[in-house]
Structure 1
Amino acid sequence: MIEAARALTRTVEIADAVPAVRLAFGVGDFRHDTGMANTAVALTHARSQLVVACRAAGLPGPIDGPSAQADSVRTDTLFAAELGMVGKLAVLPADAATINHALTPSIDDIAAATAMIDRLGNLGERVVSGADVPRLASAKAVLRRA
Structure 2
Amino acid sequence: MFPLRTLLFTPGDDPRKGEKAFAAGADAVILDLEDAVAEAQKERARQQIRQTLSIPRPVPVFVRINGASSPHILPDLQTVVDLPVEGLMLAKAESGEEVRRVDWLLSLLEQQHQLPVGKIKIIPFVESARGISRAGEIAAAPRVSCLAFGGNDYTMDIGVPYSRDGEELFFARSQLVVASRAAGIAPPLDTVNPDFRDISFLVEDARRARKLGFQGKLVIHPAQVAPVNEVFTPGDEEIAWAEKVVEAFARAQAAGSGVIQVEGKMVELPIVRRAEQLLAAARRLGKKQ
Per the normalisation by structure 1, the TM-score is 0.92
Letter in 2 for 1:106: G
1:15 maps to 2:15: no
The equivalent residue for 2:274 is 138
The equivalent residue for 1:99 is 228
Provide the identity percentage: 35
Q: Which has the higher helix share?
A: 1
The equivalent residue for 1:64 is 190
1:127, distance to aligned residue in structure 2 (A): 5.8
Q: Alignment partner of 2:149: what SS?
A: coil
Give per-residue Cα distances to partners, 1:98-125, cap 9 Å, x unaligned: 1110111111100000000101129x65
Letter in 1 for 2:176: L
1:60, distance to aligned residue in structure 2 (A): 1.0
Equivalences for 1:44-55 in 2 at 5 Å?
Answer: 44-55=170-181
1:36 maps to 2:166: no
1:54, distance to aligned residue in structure 2 (A): 0.2
Letter in 2 for 1:2: V
The equivalent residue for 1:77 is 206
In the alignment of these two chains, the number of paired residues is 144
1:87 maps to 2:216: yes
**Where does the alignment leave 5 or more consecutive residues of structure 1 unmatched?**
none
Q: Which has the higher strand share?
A: 2
How well do the aligned residues superpose, as a CA RMSD in angstroms? Answer: 1.7
The answer to whether the Cα contact below 8 Å between 1:121 and 1:127 also exists between their aligned partners in 2 is no
Higher CA-based Rg: 2
1:86, distance to aligned residue in structure 2 (A): 0.9
The answer to whether the Cα contact below 8 Å between 1:24 and 1:65 also exists between their aligned partners in 2 is yes
1:128 maps to 2:258: yes
Moved over 4 A (4+): 124-127
Letter in 1 for 2:136: V
The equivalent residue for 2:241 is 112
